[in-house]
Amino acid sequence: MERGGDILLLHGSSAAFREWDWWRKLVGLRWVRPNDPDGVPASTHPTFACKVIPVEKPDHPLSGKLCPFELGEDEVYIHLQPVSPVRILMTVVSEGETFPQACETVTPYGGRIFSFIPGHKPESVAAPGLLENIVTILKYLTEGKTGRGKPKTAFLCSRPETVDRVYGKGRRERVEELADVLPETVTPENFHSLDLREVEYLFSTWGMPCLSDEQLDRMPKLKAVFYAAGATDGFSRPLLKRGIHVVSAWKANALPVAEFTVAQIILGLKGYFKIARRMRGTERVSQADGGCGAYGRTVALLGAGAISTHAAELLKSYDLRVITVASRTDRRTVSLEEAFAVSQVVSNHFPDRDDNVGILNGKLFESMPENAVFINTGRGRQVNETEMIAVLEKRPDLTVLLDVTFPEPPPEGSKLYTLENVFLSPHIAGSMNDELQRMADYMIDDFKRGLAGEPFRYEIHESMLLTSK
């Protein structure tokens, strides 16, 4: 079957091997036992006379070719539960409910799988129309058959070692189970030496190049690019212009950033960073020197994207007031000025647009409450660092946690290295080490959805791209 062989499953096949997960996925419909843990009705096979009716599927080759037929008193399988995506082509009605009686299991590659369920008693098998439908299905499965091999797929990245890290720990092997993968990672250097004419799908991550028209012309069958990282603005427009789908793990990459942010928010409210630094000296520090605590204070999240949304969701378990400042001024219900003036913690997640450069200036930092905390996991260039440093020198009560700077890392001699109220980390909020495989998993799962004919969950559209670059 993996090599293109088809199969027609008749009647009892749908209830056979009920403990075998692979078989149930093959059939597409599972026989449900009583007291099913999923709470779905148990499958039954009541005896009654009925009419089996074709379902019109305009986009299916059998549309209009299957004929209705009458069954006398016969056992009819009902309440079968879909396990894999199926295209239902014939149904029967029992007590006002409609149940599938013929279907094709949707598969990403290999042979076609068709289930034809009616026909228990010998006289039912001989019913006018039943055998005719079986013959029609067999002709569909055998005539003009070409088979469907695994789709040709490649990994493309300017840094092959990054592909190895992100798609490591068995993820590349998962892709190879679903697709015929080029053994060599495609790079800008070897691009023109490889035959890519049959490639339908690309997997990539950080280091995905922006492909030229000439390069795209060398992949005429390309359908989709799966990007196991976040923003796609640097390469996606030429692809979208040609109708090539772009799928990104932007939501997967947002999760660790939001988790990192929430951890810093709580530690910041506790005054942890300031106290930890003071305790390294000879000064005696007590609980009274801590922060205000994580109760009743206001936390501002700058930006309303996936990171801020998830962070706000995580913060619901704390007794804090959370306000969100949209990146677009016309969408704000809270101004930047108000957010900085009233919030004990301000966390920056603005998108990397040119109109956000330097927007976080000295006046905003000067307005922050006593012992307030600023967190930046967004982009360093959104902060006017010269003005921020001037404020931090005058206000040692403030704490600044910078996972990003501009440039990154800060230049030698920068006061960001020496100010006692500044804490630097080397861009670790996003996916790293074990978290990288989550991004790959998101892309592989969406790849499987696409192969099964389902819509992508994390597809990128033109309207989602940054418009001010």
pTM of the model: 0.69
Q: Take residue 38 and report the two structure tokens written for it.
A: 């999923």
348 in helix, strand or coil?
Answer: strand
Asked if 100 and 175 sit in the same domain, the reply is no
Q: What's 233's domain CATH number?
A: 3.40.50.720
Domain boundary among 142, 174, 197: 142
Asked if 198 and 296 sit in the same domain, the reply is no
Question: pLDDT by residue (tens digit) across 38-60?
Answer: 777 888 889 999 999 999 876 78
Residue 176, domain member (yes or no): yes
Q: Which domain holds residue 69?
A: 7-142
The residue type at 14: S
Asked if 123 and 223 sit in the same domain, the reply is no
Asked if 158 and 224 sit in the same domain, the reply is yes
What is the layout of strands, in order, in the sheet containing 86-94? Answer: 7-10, 113-116, 97-105, 86-94, 47-54, 69-75
Q: What are phi and psi of 168, to 5 degrees?
A: -85, -175
SS (H, E, C) 421-446: CEEECCCCCCCCHHHHHHHHHHHHHH
Asked if 59 and 105 sit in the same domain, the reply is yes
Residue 240, domain member (yes or no): yes
Asked if 205 and 267 sit in the same domain, the reply is no
Asked if 170 and 194 sit in the same domain, the reply is yes
If one counts the domains in the chain, the total is: 3
Residue 11, domain member (yes or no): yes
Q: Take residue 348 and report the two structure tokens written for it.
A: 């920056």
Asked if 302 and 267 sit in the same domain, the reply is yes
Query: What's the CA gap between 77 and 160, in Å, rounded?
Result: 52
Tens-level pLDDT at each residue, the chain (469 residues) = 666 678 899 988 877 886 787 787 778 888 888 877 777 788 888 999 999 999 987 678 888 899 999 999 999 998 888 887 888 999 999 888 899 999 888 776 667 889 999 999 998 888 899 999 999 999 888 775 555 578 999 999 999 999 999 999 999 999 999 999 999 999 999 999 999 999 999 999 999 999 999 999 999 999 999 999 999 999 999 999 999 999 999 999 999 999 999 999 999 999 999 998 888 877 788 887 888 999 999 999 999 999 999 999 999 999 999 999 999 999 999 999 999 999 999 999 999 999 999 999 999 999 999 999 999 999 999 999 999 999 999 999 999 999 999 999 999 999 999 999 999 999 999 999 999 999 999 999 999 998 877 889 999 999 888 643 3
Asked if 212 and 344 sit in the same domain, the reply is no
Asked if 297 and 408 sit in the same domain, the reply is yes
Asked if 75 and 16 sit in the same domain, the reply is yes
